[in-house]
Amino acid sequence: MEIYTSNSIAETEEIAKEIAKRLTNGGFLALYGGMGAGKTAFVRGLVKALCPECLDLVHSPTFAIVNEYRGNNIDIFHFDLYRLTDEDDLYSTGFYDYIEQGGVTITEWSELFENELPEDAIKLKIENVGENVRRFTLC
Ligand SMILES: Nc1ncnc2c1ncn2[C@@H]1O[C@H](COP(=O)(O)OP(=O)(O)OP(=O)(O)O)[C@@H](O)[C@H]1O
Ligand SMILES: [Mg+2]
């Protein structure tokens, strides 16, 4: 278990850059943490690190369940599971096909589909511990 503390969005992006080193094609990163924790901010940093050419595409997937960032060397599939209610919903998004494709998959609101995550998922909990302070716990 590793703990990182961020005092700003810029620091969150630095932490994302560190954690990005563990993610290669086929990897899965499950993000945990409530509204405004900083999951999307973290993903922005991660995409910056793994796929700089994808950057202008990054936005919160709140209105889309999944955003795809197709890079030169890597594909990133960014899910927000918040508005999905059951496994049929999840299936409809193409989730199970995406995770077979060999890109990097990242999920926001992973706690809602704990049983559907791959066994080798890297888990990252984000906690809001102050206005601009976030604690990241990686397992
Ligand atoms: N250290 C920090 N790291 C990341 N975000 C921070 C930090 N300090 C303050 N913030 C603010 O917290 C909010 C994080 O929003 P973000 O959309 O990333 O959250 P989220 O976890 O994706 O929420 P949601 O569950 O609604 O999708 C932003 O308004 C951002 O400016
Ligand atoms: Mg978000």
Ordered domains of the chain (ranges, CATH):
2-133 (3.40.50.300)
Question: Two tokens at 125?
Answer: 């909990």
DSSP classification of residue 53: G
Query: How far from the centroid of its chain's Cα atoms is residue 127's Cα?
Result: 15
| Each residue's pLDDT tens digit, 10-26 | 999 999 999 999 999 99
Q: Which ligand gives the minimal distance to the CA of 109? A: 1
Q: How far apart are CA 49 and CA 76, in angstroms?
A: 12
User: For atom 8 of ligand 1, which residue has the closest CA?
Assistant: 132
Q: Which ligand gives the minimal distance to the CA of 7? A: 1
Do the Cβ atoms of 93 and 80 come closer than 8 Å? Answer: no
Centre of ligand 2 from the C-alpha of residue 37, in Å: 8
User: For atom 3 of ligand 1, which residue has the closest CA?
Assistant: 9
Centre of ligand 1 from the C-alpha of residue 124, in Å: 15
Place of tokens 């993000």: 31
| Each residue's pLDDT tens digit, 25-61 | 999 999 999 999 999 999 999 999 999 998 766 565 5
Question: Two tokens at 17?
Answer: 């850059």
Centre of ligand 1 from the C-alpha of residue 42, in Å: 8
| Each residue's pLDDT tens digit, 80-134 | 999 999 999 999 999 999 999 999 999 999 999 999 999 999 999 999 999 999 9
DSSP classification of residue 25: T
Query: How far from the centroid of its chain's Cα atoms is residue 120's Cα?
Result: 15
